[in-house]
């Protein structure tokens, strides 16, 4: 059972804005930063956002992240067909002394 | 650009030991932490453990007793061994470079099936 909670699915039409939520607890999101990974089916995960809201080089500014308390969210604006993928949130857990993940959100672009 | 490539047997018998190697190029394994993850078919990601050349290692408590992670400096490789495997260990296994507490480069993954 994933430690962080994400909605299993999300959808939107091209051009729309979609937000994916991620909920945790004080031992993970509450006390640490949140990262997001994008996984296209059949491919490896790719770092999409780190330290709550930092984008790695090459990630479009259509992607943005935020964190408040024990929750975080990833927003994708100007939705494009290539954004169709699974999105995972992750955070360090102070009890585990390692990262924990959400169950993933499958994003469909209608 | 950092590249990671997992390799190893794709089929392991129950009760035997799973061994995977991650070959790193574009970076030295002595400069970063290195982690292993797995993803059962159709499911989410699970962290297995990390290691650092200069001594720090940590493993997921749920797997700790069965897992070892080691570094081969001469070949710039990171290895994973998991003993006493069962069908529940069938998954795609990934290695990744760890920067602080996130993972910036991932291998393409290696599917390991546990079956007799």
pLDDT for B37 = 98
For A58-92, what is each residue's pLDDT tens digit?
A: 999 999 999 999 999 999 999 999 999 999 999 99
pLDDT for A77 = 98
pLDDT for A28 = 98
Three-state secondary structure readout of A57-68? CCCCCCEEEEEE
CA distance A27 to chain B (A): 14
Phi, psi of B75 (to 5 degrees): -105, 5
- Hunting for tokens 């997992």 — which residue is that? B6
d(CA A82, CA A16): 14
For A6-36, what is each residue's pLDDT tens digit?
A: 999 999 999 999 999 999 999 999 999 999 9
d(CA B70, CA B50): 9
Taking only residues 85 to 104 of chain A, the set having a beta carbon closer than 8 angstroms to any beta carbon of chain B reads 88, 90, 92, 96-104
Q: Which residues contact A68 (CB under 8 A, 6 or more apart)?
A: none
Taking only residues 45 to 84 of chain A, the set having a beta carbon closer than 8 angstroms to any beta carbon of chain B reads 45-47, 50-51, 56
Compute the average pLDDT of residues B11-26: 98
pLDDT for B55 = 72
For B45-98, what is each residue's pLDDT tens digit?
A: 999 999 998 878 899 999 989 999 999 999 999 999 999 999 999 999 999 999
CB distance A90 to B106 below 8 Å: no
Number of A to B CB contacts under 8 A, please give it: 56
For strand B110-114 and strand B11-12, is the pairing parallel, antiparallel, or unpaired?
parallel
pLDDT for B53 = 84
pLDDT for A15 = 97
pLDDT for B54 = 81
pLDDT for A107 = 98
CB distance B34 to B51 below 8 Å: yes
State the burial class of residue B59 (Cβ atoms within 10 Å of its Cβ: 0-12, 13-18, 19+). buried
Q: Which residues of chain A make contact with B50, given a CB cutoff of 8 A?
A: 98
């Amino acid at each position: 059972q994933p430690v962080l909670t994400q909605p299993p699915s999300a959808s939107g039409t091209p051009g729309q804005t979609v937000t994916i939520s991620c909920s945790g607890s004080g031992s993970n999101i509450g006390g640490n930063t949140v990262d997001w990974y994008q996984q296209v089916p059949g491919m490896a995960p790719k770092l999409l956002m780190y330290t709550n809201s930092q984008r790695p080089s090459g990630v479009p500014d259509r992607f943005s992240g935020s964190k408040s308390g024990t929750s975080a969210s990833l927003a994708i604006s100007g939705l494009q067909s290539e954004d169709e993928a699974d999105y995972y949130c992750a955070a360090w857990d102070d009890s585990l002394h390692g990262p924990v993940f959400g169950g993933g959100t499958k994003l469909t672009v209608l | 650009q950092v590249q990671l490539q997992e390799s190893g047997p794709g089929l392991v018998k129950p009760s035997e030991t799973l061994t995977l190697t991650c070959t790193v190029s574009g970076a030295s394994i002595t400069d970063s932490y290195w982690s292993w993850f797995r993803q059962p078919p159709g499911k989410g990601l699970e962290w297995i453990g990390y290691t650092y050349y200069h001594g720090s290692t940590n493993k997921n408590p749920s797997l700790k007793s069965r897992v070892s992670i080691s570094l081969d400096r001469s070949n710039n490789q990171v290895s994973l061994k998991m003993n006493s495997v069962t069908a529940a260990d069938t998954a795609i296994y990934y290695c990744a470079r760890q920067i602080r507490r996130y993972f910036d480069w991932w291998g393409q993954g290696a599917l390991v099936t546990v079956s007799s």
